[in-house]
Structure 1
Amino acid sequence: MPGYFETVPGGGAAVALDPVETSILRSLAVQLLELIGPGDEPVEGEDPLAALFAEGPSEAPADPALARLFPEAYVDPTSDPAAPDKEQLAASSEFRRFTENDLRTRKREDALSVVRNLDALAAAADDEPGLVLKLLPDESRRWLGTLNDLRLTIASRLDITEDDESELLYALPDEDPRKPMVMAYLWLGGLQETLVETLLP
């Protein structure tokens, strides 16, 4: 199972990761956590229930990567950005105010789960190199979310669209400065695809 997920009898998934792959995945997940942000801690003495109903931002993030992670809900992506539909923008703004905080929390928790799984694997590998990462079904879903978020982030940084996922990405010369990120993007895609297959009934 080197490099790709396989189904584990009884549910869950497993993948063999060497120390370099483990380190790369952990670094990417930590960078994703930094991009998403730490989240708002409740003010000391404030009712924690009130924090649950706190409103989030109403405008899309300026960072293109965050804009892909937290897209506009009601705006047609094919519409002219210079002439946006005001009703669609208003609906998206309202939707974002009441959903983005929760979405950020979920993405943060998913990425933290990935980091913890990798840390546990690295600690175990100190005693027994070559161990296989095994995930429970719930952990698999968290990994799937994080792998998707990582690919969206890298695609944004490289200005990759779905139409670019072709032979052009594989054909980049080694001296192209984008090559390492493109290879990570393609590798994450393979992990994501095989992890999806383990979750299918």
Structure 2
Amino acid sequence: MGNDGAPVVSPVLKKKRGGLELTLSTEERDLLRALQTELRALYEAGPDDADPIRSRLFPRAYLDPTAEDAEREWRELVHPELVRDRMAALDQLLASLEPTPGARGRIVLTLEGESIDALLSVLNDARLALGTRLGVTDDIDDDELYPDHPLAPEIAVYSWLTYLEGLLVDTLLGDMPD
């Protein structure tokens, strides 16, 4: 996958005064836009939806099945705020995806404060959702990354999300990759 024949290079992340500068390919930016659209649909579904992905994104507060009244009260009090915060993160991410053109078809995103938090939140939720859909319980086995695997595109996206989230966390913690 490239842009006008240029090879796609992994995302580049640099610390800048007061924030981060993330360089992505246009394909990577488009993937983030598509993921935010899919997450928005998941967030907008009703809180009683039995979808396992929604259950992963919005887990029960009370594991005791006899505590249904407490669980219902908790959801009534907290769920709308959780959805509102996640929708705000999606909006923040979408706004930050308006890039500064970079060299060779790459784009540069300037991230500060809330936009960094929003990106981490969206990446985490996208990984949880996709990981649930794929049935991921541990690290992806290299054998699953072969191009002829029936879920190769989804596994590649999951691996990329994992890489980008790890890169962000390591950078924020000061452990710049070589």
TM class by smaller structure: 0.7 to 0.9
Structure 1 residue 106 corresponds to structure 2 residue 106: no
Find 2:50's aligned residue among 62, 72, 80: 62
Is the partner of 1:74 in helix, strand or coil? coil
Report matched runs for 1:34-73 at 5 Å.
Answer: 34-37=41-44, 57=47, 59=48, 61-73=49-61
Structure 1 residue 10 corresponds to structure 2 residue 17: yes
Q: Identity rate of aligned residues, in percent?
A: 30
Structure 1 residue 196 corresponds to structure 2 residue 169: yes
Structure 1 residue 27 corresponds to structure 2 residue 23: no
Task: Please say if residues 137 and 199 of structure 1, whose CA atoms lie closer than 8 Å, have aligned partners that are also in contact.
Answer: no
Note the alpha carbon deviations across 1:150-188, whole angstroms, 9 max, x for none.
Answer: 001101111112x2x14x2x2223122211111101110
Q: 1:31 to 1:85 in 2, by over 3 A?
A: closer
Which of 1 and 2 has higher RCO (CA within 8 Å, sep 6+)?
Answer: 1
Aligned to 1:175: 148
Is the partner of 1:15 in helix, strand or coil? strand
Structure possessing the higher radius of gyration over alpha carbons: 1
Q: 1:138 to 1:8 in 2, by over 3 A?
A: same
The answer to which structure has the higher strand fraction is: 2
Is the partner of 2:101 in helix, strand or coil? helix
CA shift at 1:7, angstroms?
4.3
Q: 1:74 to 1:7 in 2, by over 3 A?
A: farther
Is the partner of 2:59 in helix, strand or coil? coil
- Name segments (4+ residues, structure 1) moved above 6 Å: none
In the superposition, the TM-score normalised over structure 1's length comes to: 0.72
Note the alpha carbon deviations across 1:15-46, whole angstroms, 9 max, x for none.
Answer: 211111111111111111122128xxxxxxxx
Is the partner of 2:159 in helix, strand or coil? helix
Find 1:147's aligned residue among 123, 146, 159: 123
Task: Please say if residues 110 and 146 of structure 1, whose CA atoms lie closer than 8 Å, have aligned partners that are also in contact.
Answer: yes
Task: Please say if residues 5 and 13 of structure 1, whose CA atoms lie closer than 8 Å, have aligned partners that are also in contact.
Answer: no
Q: 1:97 to 1:5 in 2, by over 3 A?
A: farther
In the superposition, the TM-score normalised over structure 2's length comes to: 0.81
Task: Please say if residues 5 and 191 of structure 1, whose CA atoms lie closer than 8 Å, have aligned partners that are also in contact.
Answer: no
Letter of the structure 2 residue corresponding to residue 192 of structure 1? E
Count residues with an aligned counterpart. 165
CA shift at 1:127, angstroms?
10
Task: Please say if residues 12 and 198 of structure 1, whose CA atoms lie closer than 8 Å, have aligned partners that are also in contact.
Answer: no
Unaligned 5+ residue runs, structure 2?
A: 1-8
Q: 1:127 to 1:155 in 2, by over 3 A?
A: closer
RMSD of the alignment, in Å?
2.5
Aligned to 1:187: 160
Aligned to 2:3: none
